[in-house]
Each structure stands twice: as structure tokens, then as C-alpha cells.
Amino acid sequence: MTPAPAELRIEGLRYETGGHTLLHGIDLTARPGETVGVAGPNGSGKTTLLRCVYGTLRPTAGRILLDGRDAASLTVRERARRVAVVPQDASGTFGLTVREVVAMGRSPHKRFWEQDGPADVRRTEEALRTVGIPAFAERTFDELSGGERQRALVARALVQDPGLLALDEPTNHLDIRYQLEVLALVRGLPATGLLVLHDLNLAASFCDRLCLLHEGRVVASGTPAEVLTEEMLGEVYGVRTRIGVHPTTGAPSIVYLP
């Protein structure tokens, strides 16, 4: 049975390291089933925020609530059952087949060293089909193209049965076709999505709401049309733009000017 999409609430989140404050009191909400994008210039705190959400960094202050429960009170295993991560780069996959990499996502649901049971095998096969790579199951992960690897990492996250899916630049290093396919796949999954994205046109097309960060602070939050204004992009990114409406999707369409 697939878990219901989670509700994520971030309240007053602050993160400091080495005497530097990287996040200044971040507030963000992702309602169940929403796809929320986090955007901003390099160094604005996007990846730091995501790492706090999935637990590799411990916030200095504030709290993260998953379905109303403080994430700090969850064990590592409990958190992994609720939040799945698609990182920019995969580690610990050398020499493994695609099926083995995807099956790693079942670990939070099993005892240490417990073998995969019939339900685990079934979930792995379902995830491979969902992301469209069942034919690659016996190939080694390292042989795959960038887009195929991203699909496999999404499948690994999917078999965790998460309520929240956190993705750090899921389109990084992908060509246009794979960017569109991966984001469409994520958008259609039965989970709440929190995505760090650099491409603002992709964010406008695939996200229900956006959170724009600058120097560790939220400077705008709302629908893509509310956040992506010519004035805001000039202030945050230091660029000149013209923003229209996409003729097919109705989303904001950004043209960058010299």
C-alpha cells in the first residue's frame, strides 16, 4: 500500500557552521501532493536547506515538521521511511546492477542484513517499470547514461514508499529531453515533492509553488507567477529579463536579456 503524500512544514529554520549563518529563519510549507521548488543563486542556501530536511545536517534553530511530527524526534530509520532523497550524484553504487541499486531503497523497511522478500522484489520491479527502465535491470549502474542514472535514483527513492521526495538538482547534467522526462516523472509520483532547481523556466512549468532564496533568506514565496517577476529576478540574480506567458502551459516564460 502506497503511503499518503506527506505535509512538510519548516518553521524558523536556522543553520550555522564555522561562525557563518547559512540559513536565516526559513519558513516553508509543502502541502500533501504539492511539488514545491526551491530556487536561488549559487550560495543562497538551497542544498543546505534540503540537507536539513532529509537529515544529513542538524539545524541550529527552528524545526521541521513531517505530518505534524518534529523530524528531530525521528530515528534515522523512521525518517528514511518518510523522506526519500534523489541526490545530485550517487555514492556506494560501484559495481552494483541497476536492480540492486533500486532495491537499496527497501533498506529502511527491513532488519539489518534481512534478505529481500517477495514484497520487496515486487516493489523493486514496479519501480523499474514506473521509471521506464526495466530493460536495464541487469546492467551495472555505472554503465548508464546521466538520464538513465537519474531514473534509477528516482526508482530507488520510490521503493522507499516515501511521503516526501526531496530532490537536489535532479536535472543536473541532463540534456533537454531527459530534463523534461525526469521532471514529468517526479511530478506524477504519489508523493509530495521538494525540488532544488536552477532552471527557472523548468521550475515555472513543473512546480505548484516556489520558494526563492537569497543569501540564506526567503525573499519570495508563492506560485511561479507571483515569485518570478522581472523586478525580483533583477534584484536577486542581477539580470534583466522579460517574462511572458507560455502559450501551452500558461506558466511564466522567462527570456534573459543581454
3-class SS of residue 196: strand
Strands (E) in 99-251, as ranges, are 164-168, 192-196, 209-214, 217-222, 240-245
Using the Cα atoms of residue 100, residue 101, residue 103 and residue 108 in order, give the sign of their dihedral: positive
Q: Taking the model in full, what pTM does it have? A: 0.89
Written as nine digits, the cell of 48 is 543546505
pLDDT at 195: 95
- Each domain of the chain, given as residue ranges in start order, spans 8-220
Range of weakest confidence among 9-13, 64-68, 94-98, 177-181: 177-181
**Average pLDDT, integer, range 121-139:** 90
Assign a CATH topology to domain 8-220. Rossmann fold (3.40.50)
Average predicted confidence (pLDDT) for the chain: 91
| Residue 167 buriedness (CB in 10 A; 0-12 / 13-18 / 19+) | buried
Answer yes or no: are the C-beta atoms of 230 and 58 closer than 8 Å: no
Q: Residue 157: phi, psi to the nearest 5?
A: -65, -40
* Per-residue pLDDT tens digits for 76-124: 888 988 999 888 777 667 789 999 999 998 888 777 667 878 888 998 9
